[in-house]
Structures are given as structure tokens and as C-alpha cells.
């Protein structure tokens, strides 16, 4: 091994990723030989832990950039954001693929995951609807993403055929995302006695959907910011020229959507007359989430967009992403089973945290593998202006 190869292979991130993959492999063996009890703190009171609260709820919400960006470009005709579509679709595709991957760890008998779709459809169940939508949308995203892979492989005829489906797939993607982003919130409607009244609301499905749009727009900015330094050499002149416009436009959109989300949250408080809970410890935590991670980012996005302050917008995108993760954690874990004594409350085990970190690292490695080889941040020279 030459010293140059050593230098590029043994980077701090690669060493960290290697350690995480080894720990992930160990935890995978533990999980599939010893069962859920061997690596999790799950029990009958808390059957859904961070593999649902983080890997699934956050994974699906953070992948919303795919349908928001493609809808903006292909349905609303905002062609100036076109260069953001492929990174957003790739992030969404990997996000959903990892959600399904992580689900294999969480369900008791993962080999039965296809059963609800093909053998025993429970058509009156919300969970069935979520499963069907995720299954269909992952397929849609795989086809949408495959255009880049086919260009890389040089399969021109197949690429041309798939590319003709773009508008149809975008519409299908928007419909499916609207359905399952909201249904993930609707899952918690079944537990009014378990979820704290400040977070429980009949508006939960709308809150999940609207916050997913806000975090989808933010993820495009956030992911673009993170990618800019390591993959700058892969970005073509069009991508770099449109980059600031994408950030400013998406910041304006995210500001208004976050304001909508804040409005729905306030109306939900008023409709259920839950004001009294605000003056409690739970109320302080709720206000921390709403003021710090919804109202503040909405205002900062507005200021950033008005003043064309790209740096402020990038930091606000990170704040929004963290805020939606915090909201999903609050709904699924923190404010869930809030009346149970602390000894019976759920806290994730190291094994659960390890698997979640493992899943994220696998996602980053696959993302890096793809963007360093396929036309994601640049247009393939043979397909210039073929959009």
C-alpha cells in the first residue's frame, strides 16, 4: 500500500466509520441471534423505541426533501432549482431505503415484512397504509434515482424511457408522501391517554405533514452545505451558480411553512383548550420546542432570505432539522407514557443507539460512494440540457 493510498484511506472519518461498522456488525449478530431483548430496552409499555422514533419517524421526515424539491421543479415549474433535484432525490431514496433497512431490526420477524403488502393486507389499519406508502414510495424513488445510475452505466435507451416517467413519478411521489407523512402522525391518535395533551392533538397528521415539508426544504439546504466542501470537485458550474439561489428560495419557503406549522400548533392548543398545561414543567419543554425550533427558525429564515445572508440560513437549516428530530422524539418517546413512574419509562440501550448510528453511517458511506461516481452534483456530459 502506497503512502498516498494510506493517506486517502485512513482519514479520521473512515476510521470512525470502520469502527461503527464493526460495532454494527456485532450488534446485528446479537439482535438476530438473541432477539430484541438482547440489544434493546423495549418492553410491553414501550414497544416502540428509538428505532421507530429516530430511524423511522425522523428518517421519513428528513427524506421529505425529495418530494418537495421535485414538486417545486416539475409541478410548479421552478426550473431555477433544477440542480437541487438529484441530490434531494438521492437523499430521499437513501433515507427511505435506510428506514426499511432499520425496520428489519425493529420488527420481531422481519422476513414477514412483505406479508401485509402481498398476503394479509389489513386495509382498515393506518400502519398498513404507512407500510404500503413507504413500499410504493421507495419504489418510486428508486426509479427516479435510477436515471443517474443509468447515465453512469451508459444505458441510454433505458435511461431515456425512465426519464419520460419523471412527471408521473413526481405526482405519484407527492400523493404518497402526503398520505404517509401525515399517517405517521395519525398513528399516535390511537393513544390519547398515553401522549401528553400538549403533544396530542387531532391535528397531529397535519402537523407531521407540514413539519415534514419544512424539514424537507431545510434538509436540501443542510445536505448541500455538508456536501459542499468534500464534494466541491464533483459540482459543475451550473450547480455552483444555482446554489445560492436554491438556498435563498428554499429559505423563504421554509420560513412560511414553519410559520404555518407554528399556526397549526397554536390553533391545536386553543381548540383543545390546553393552555393550562403551559405553566408546568412539560409546558416549559413544549415552549422550548415550539419557540426555539419552530418560531425562531421561521424568523431567522425570514431575516436570512430578506438580507440574503447565506450563512445565517445554513445555520437555521441545522436548527430546523434538529427541531423536527426533537419533535418526533417528543411525540414518540419523551411525552409518550408521560404518566408512567420513572422506573417504567423507556430509555434506549447502548445497543439501540449503536444500531441507529450504524444505520446513519451506512447511509453516509453509500451517499459518498454514489456522488463520487454518478452524475448527482453535475450533469453528465452526454445528457447536457436533456431535462
* Closest CB to another protein among residues 302, 319: 302
Asked whether position 273 contacts another protein by CB under 8 A, the answer is: yes
For 231, phi and psi rounded to 5 degrees?
-115, 20
Residue 12 grid cell? 479520521
Buried b (16+ CB within 10 A) or exposed e, 188-212: bbeeeeebbbbbbbebbbbbbbbbb
- 363, 94 contact by CB (below 8 A): yes
CB of 305 to another protein, least distance (A): 6
- Which positions ≥6 away from 161 have C-beta within 8 Å? none
Asked whether position 272 contacts another protein by CB under 8 A, the answer is: yes
In this chain, which of 113, 174, 240, 256 binds another protein, going by CB under 8 A?
A: 256
Asked whether position 302 contacts another protein by CB under 8 A, the answer is: yes
Asked whether position 307 contacts another protein by CB under 8 A, the answer is: yes
In this chain, which of 83, 255, 320, 330 binds another protein, going by CB under 8 A?
A: 255
CB of 241 to another protein, least distance (A): 13
CB of 261 to another protein, least distance (A): 12
- 313, 304 contact by CB (below 8 A): yes
In this chain, which of 79, 112, 232, 308 binds another protein, going by CB under 8 A?
A: 308
Please spell the DSSP secondary structure of 9-70, one letter per residue: HS-HHHHHHHHHHHHHHHHHHHHHHH-HHHH----SS----HIIIIIIIIHHHHTTHHHHHH
* Closest CB to another protein among residues 22, 271: 271
CB of 230 to another protein, least distance (A): 30
Asked whether position 168 contacts another protein by CB under 8 A, the answer is: no
3-state helix, strand, coil in the chain (%, to 5): 80, 0, 20
**CA dist., res. 354 & res. 20, Å (int):** 8
In this chain, which of 29, 142, 168, 271 binds another protein, going by CB under 8 A?
A: 271
* Closest CB to another protein among residues 54, 301: 301
Q: Give residues in contact with another protein (CB under 8 A).
A: 252, 255-256, 259, 263, 266-267, 270-273, 298, 302, 305-308
Amino acid at each position: 500500500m502506497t503512502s498516498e493510498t494510506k493517506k486517502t484511506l485512513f482519514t479520521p472519518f473512515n476510521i470512525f466509520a470502520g469502527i461503527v461498522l464493526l460495532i454494527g456488525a456485532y450488534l446485528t449478530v446479537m439482535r438476530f441471534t438473541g432477539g430484541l431483548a438482547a440489544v434493546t430496552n423495549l418492553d410491553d409499555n414501550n414497544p416502540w423505541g428509538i428505532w421507530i422514533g429516530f430511524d423511522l419517524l425522523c428518517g421519513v421526515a428528513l427524506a421529505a426533501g425529495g418530494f418537495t424539491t421535485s414538486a417545486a421543479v416539475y409541478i410548479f415549474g421552478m426550473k431555477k432549482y433544477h440542480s437541487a433535484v438529484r441530490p434531494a432525490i438521492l437523499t430521499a431514496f437513501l433515507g427511505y431505503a435506510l428506514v426499511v433497512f432499520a425496520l428489519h431490526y425493529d420488527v420481531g420477524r422481519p422476513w414477514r415484512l412483505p406479508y401485509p403488502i402481498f398476503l394479509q393486507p389489513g386495509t382498515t389499519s393506518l400502519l398498513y397504509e404507512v407500510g404500503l406508502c413507504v413500499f410504493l414510495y421507495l419504489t418510486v424513488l428508486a426509479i427516479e434515482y435510477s436515471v443517474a445510475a443509468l447515465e453512469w452505466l451508459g444505458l441510454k435507451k433505458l435511461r431515456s424511457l425512465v426519464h419520460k416517467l419523471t412527471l408521473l413519478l413526481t405526482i405519484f411521489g407527492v400523493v404518497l408522501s402526503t398520505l404517509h407523512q401525515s399517517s405517521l402522525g395519525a398513528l399516535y391518535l390511537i393513544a390519547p391517554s398515553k401522549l401528553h395533551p400538549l403533544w396530542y392533538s387531532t391535528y397531529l397528521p397535519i402537523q407531521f405533514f407540514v413539519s415534514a415539508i419544512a424539514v424537507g426544504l431545510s434538509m436540501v439546504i443542510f445536505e448541500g452545505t455538508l456536501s459542499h466542501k468534500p464534494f466541491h470537485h464533483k459540482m459543475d458550474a451550473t450547480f455552483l451558480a444555482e446554489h445560492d439561489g436554491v438556498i435563498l428560495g428554499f429559505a423563504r419557503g421554509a420560513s412560511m411553512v414553519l410559520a404555518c406549522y407554528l399556526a397549526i400548533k397554536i390553533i391545536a392548543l386553543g381548540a383543545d383548550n390546553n393552555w393550562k398545561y403551559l405553566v408546568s414543567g412539560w409546558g416549559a419543554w413544549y415552549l422550548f420546542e415550539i419557540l426555539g425550533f419552530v418560531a425562531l427558525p421561521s424568523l431567522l429564515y425570514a431575516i436570512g432570505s430578506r438580507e440574503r445572508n447565506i450563512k445565517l440560513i445554513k445555520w437555521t437549516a441545522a436548527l430546523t432539522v434538529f427541531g423536527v428530530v426533537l419533535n418526533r422524539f417528543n411525540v414518540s418517546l419523551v411525552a409518550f407514557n408521560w404518566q408512567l413512574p420513572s422506573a417504567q419509562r423507556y430509555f434506549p440501550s447502548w445497543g439501540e443507539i449503536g444500531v441507529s448510528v450504524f444505520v446513519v453511517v451506512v447511509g453516509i458511506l453509500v451517499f459518498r460512494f454514489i456522488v463520487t461516481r454518478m452524475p448527482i452534483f453535475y450533469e453528465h456530459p452526454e445528457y447536457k440540457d436533456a431535462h
